[in-house]
Amino acid sequence: MAKIKGEIIIDVERCKGCHVCVPACNFKCVGVSPKVNSKGYNYVVFENSESCTGCANCAIVCPDAAITVYRTKVE
Amino acid sequence: MSSIAKKENLVYQRPALRTEKEYSFCPGCGHGTVHNIILEVIEEMGLQEKAIGITPVGCAVLAYEFMNIDMQQAAHGRAPALATAINRMMPDKAVFTYQGDGDLAAIGTAETIHACNRGENIVIFFVNNGIYGMTGGQMAPTTLPGMPSSTSPYGRDVETMGGPMKITEMISQLDGVYMSTRQAAHTPAYVRKLKKAIRQAFENQQARKGLSFVEIVTNCASGWKKTPTDANKWLEENMFPVYPLGDIKIDGKLVK
Ligand SMILES: Cc1ncc(C[n+]2csc(CCOP(=O)(O)OP(=O)(O)O)c2C)c(N)n1
Ligand code: SF4
């Protein structure tokens, strides 16, 4: 059966660590890194990549548009 | 990098009309999300050459650095007056203002009401975060009853300071207003609804229907002294009951 699979790429340096994207994902694919970027923000990271559908919910709520989203169908 | 992150699979990226410059807004501030959606709509409607944005005084003043379209900046509260002039000189353009609640509903109240009353063919974006953000969280006309701010540290006292001003409901009574709506931008569902409203507003403007007014209720996490995610929760629990979302006027007719 064909399945929709997604992937997000986070621009760590643009992330301001607001974490508004974290609850926006229904599949818990966005987590918070214990590390900080060069500005000192705890940036977000892609987790549970298997569950990502590429719905872009995380990306459209990001004020800094730091997330790029890809989606494809896999057989 | 896996095989999915390829150009042909791209579904979302930074709006093309955004400049490279990083937003000056605080982490999680709704201004950034609203900027992004406006730019997406302008791009999707092919209005890059026509759009002229008027920036306010307030945190959004630097929008001209972030939006890769023609921009002008007005004196505090005077964006609708400047938009009126530009729109009348160049009626084929897509003129919009982008204003905060201190700008639009306090110092600019007169300009707002009269531009609405005249039915200028412009779009007004009204970002209501219930506070003066840029200057350090002073009370705005939109501040909620009991809500602390730097100039009402014990909370807004309605007896002496009046209640929250619902400017979108007020201007909706004016015949010049063709569309008015109140939206939000902090969850995916609200972002999608807001995008539709913004598109409708620009379509009205291009069809010369008159004035379209889009209020967006957002957080000011810094002014509210909360984390962005807590501020968004607080917004739903406290701002929404006073500023209910939805369309107020559509196609020149009150729907609420
Ligand atoms: C004539 C004038 N009066 C006062 C100010 C100071 N001032 C700068 S920003 C601002 C408040 C803006 O608040 P708001 O419109 O709510 O926007 P926000 O910063 O919350 O986005 C004020 C009073 C000014 N720049 N010019
Ligand atoms: S002070 Fe408030 S409105 Fe201004 S950028 Fe910060 S969060 Fe946004």
| Domain interval for residue A22 | 3-74
CA gap A49, A18 in Å, rounded: 21
| Record: contact A5-B4, CB cut-off 8 A | yes
Whether B133 lines ligand 2, by a CB cut-off of 6 Å, is yes
Instruction: Give the rounded percent of residues in chain B with a pLDDT score beyond 90.
Output: 98
| Record: contact B229-A60, CB cut-off 8 A | no
Instruction: Give the rounded percent of residues in chain B with a pLDDT score beyond 70.
Output: 99
Angular region, B157: left φ>0, alpha ψ -120 to 50, beta rest: beta
> pLDDT tens digits, residue range A29-72?
999 999 999 999 999 999 999 999 999 999 999 999 999 999 99
Closest by Cβ to B187, choosing from A24, A41, A71: A24
Round the average pLDDT of chain B to a whole number and report it.
Answer: 97
Q: What is the mean pLDDT of residues B178-187?
A: 98
Q: What is the mean pLDDT of residues B123-150?
A: 97
pTM of the model: 0.97
Whether B129 lines ligand 1, by a CB cut-off of 6 Å, is yes
> pLDDT tens digits, residue range B187-243?
999 999 999 999 999 999 999 999 999 999 999 999 999 999 999 999 999 999 999
pLDDT of the residue at B253: 98
Whether B121 lines ligand 2, by a CB cut-off of 6 Å, is no
**Residue B112 backbone phi and psi in degrees, to 5:** -60, -55
Contacts of A27 in chain B (CB under 8 A): none
Asked whether residue B1 carries a pLDDT value surpassing 60, the answer given is: no
Cβ partners under 8 Å of residue B154, min gap 6? B148
Q: Which of B103, B104, B111 to mutate to test the pocket of ligand 1 (most atoms within 8 A of CB)?
A: B103
Instruction: Please report which confidence band the pLDDT of residue A75 belongs to, taking 50, 70 and 90 as the band edges.
Output: confident
Closest ligand 1 atom to Cα of B99: 15
| Tally of domains in chain A | 1
Q: Which of residues 27-56 of A touch B (CB under 8 A)?
A: 41, 49, 54-56
Note the maximum CA span of chain A.
44
Closest by Cβ to B191, choosing from A23, A55, A61: A61
| Record: contact A18-B27, CB cut-off 8 A | yes
Chain B within 8 Å of A21 (Cβ-Cβ)?
no
3-state secondary structure of A69: strand
Asked whether residue B2 carries a pLDDT value surpassing 90, the answer given is: no
Q: Whose CA is nearest to atom 8 of ligand 2?
A: B29
Q: What is the mean pLDDT of residues B103-118?
A: 98
Three-state SS for B36-69 is HHHHHHHHHCCCCCCEEEEECCCHHHHHHHHECC
Nearest CA-CA partner of A71 in B2, B196, B188, B37? B2
Whether B33 lines ligand 2, by a CB cut-off of 6 Å, is no
What's the CA-to-centroid distance between B57 and ligand 1, angstroms?
5
pLDDT of the residue at B256: 87
Q: What is the mean pLDDT of residues A15-34?
A: 98
Query: Could you give all domains of chain B from N- to C-terminal order, each with its CATH number?
Result: 27-254 (3.40.50.970)
Contact B205, B121 (CB under 8 A): yes
Whether B134 lines ligand 2, by a CB cut-off of 6 Å, is yes
Asked whether residue B12 carries a pLDDT value surpassing 60, the answer given is: yes
Q: Whose CA is nearest to atom 8 of ligand 1?
A: B58
**Residue A40: which CATH number?**
3.30.70.20
> pLDDT tens digits, residue range B21-66?
999 999 999 999 999 999 999 999 999 999 999 999 999 999 999 9
